Structure 1
């Protein structure tokens, strides 16, 4: 009896197929690989390869999917390190691409770590402070008591749940949807010296979760800090000190004055956005360079060029302020 496959050069007998299959199986067992005869497919044929494919459990599949997604995103170095703990290390609470819910914050049965191990694996939980707006008692009501629960399993469950929420918040994008350099640094930012959590920061989102639950996480978008009108909060969600805030506010005022604000507006605003003194000077220099790049062509054109720049900036300011007043949004579309 012969089994034929359309398009094949030579038909194979059942005996040769069985013999070839047995040879391939022995070669695999001996670690020699296989280059045997390809099995026929179609009516009457057996798809041996499909039968031999190992089954992948749901958690492993989720890790594979997460690795694929992360490779296509421009995650910060810190956020990628956290994500790698999930995709490579199998720590489910480190899956920062999965928005926390009550269901997916349950510790998998395969996770045999105790609470102390989970806490030590997650700096963002280990380093969590006791400031008043962190709302630690309310967090424990949401997640369970990862510090004092007498039942070891319940304590581990609580640590896993809290770590998953905090990792997600720590690795959010900024309020405009851009990746943050400080994401995944293991520190919940946005607490003032008085222990208050500013809105639009990581601390503000932790407070909202403690008070309102999972629906409060990233209310303005996926993995993104909330919008805020608080001028003490930088775009990346960190707090400005009072001096930086003052310099930045002066820059904002100057930026509304035609010509004068062309250079000094972005210079002082850049200084106010710096996270350290060195970073402030670097951002100020960047703002100065952008301002000069805009001002020099107008200056070279003489009085007429300067006048045109002044008129244009005056119109831009009017449009910007009108847009903000009408919509409540701070970033209008680019003026053209």
Structure 2
């Protein structure tokens, strides 16, 4: 469907839905204690929840708020003791996870409205599935293919020979550039750029020569890419983000990086070229990872860590210096500069003491 076929009459966003607690329990597999017919239509924190709301407790620091909440139902771990509270209970082994599922059930995404907006520009040889929605000002270049159920927001650019699987959502002004491959249900937030040239330059005697970036970007199923995040194409091979990964806003993924399945990466993290990150890693905000490294599956890097060597044993890794009062920081900075001399003095003392022991 490449002709200009305006989307059908707009259907208002469904907005919050109303479901009974019995319906929620059935949809999520949680056990319900009381009031299956009670209706809810929103989620909220324990203190902000009122009648008709579902809340949750996942952190014991907030347990005291159970006595104050007016929520209709609260999602709790089975180990919690809640005798005497007036709310209904949905029991979950992972309350925050199931809270997210409930929030999605009560707030479904707007339905895709198939069609191509009049102001969109779609190349004659591009393939747009009849069940896809192409918004205002979208550009779909030659050879691109967009699968069924995709929703392409206003101002998006889909580059030449790019491929989008089924049910992808590309938000306003994102760019999916030439040759990029997206799997099914990929969500790209506004302003993200997928498939830009990697930072590749060869140094000559007096100038830098750009190295052609000839690879692509492959993003597998169920990946989420945050707003203004950039994923560079490979230089020769491809940059790959495996299934289920979640990248926050303002993340930089350099050329030829590979990120293993179900890894999550927080905002402002930068990953240098050709680094391989294993599956199920957790990477905090503003982490810096040097190039050509390997990070073991299951590794956690806390916020602002600087990784300059490969990590072969999974665990929790941290670096950086926490903020401290300025006078204390200045004293410690001076002492840091004195460490080399201190080490040499200790080594000399050890040698002297060792010589004395031998006598």
Please, what TM-score do these two structures have when normalized by structure 2? 0.23
Which of the pair is proportionally richer in helix? Answer: 1
Report the TM-score, using the length of structure 1 for normalisation.
0.24
Higher RCO (CA < 8 A, seq sep 6+): 1
Point out the structure with max Rg over C-alpha: 1
Structure having the higher strand fraction is 2
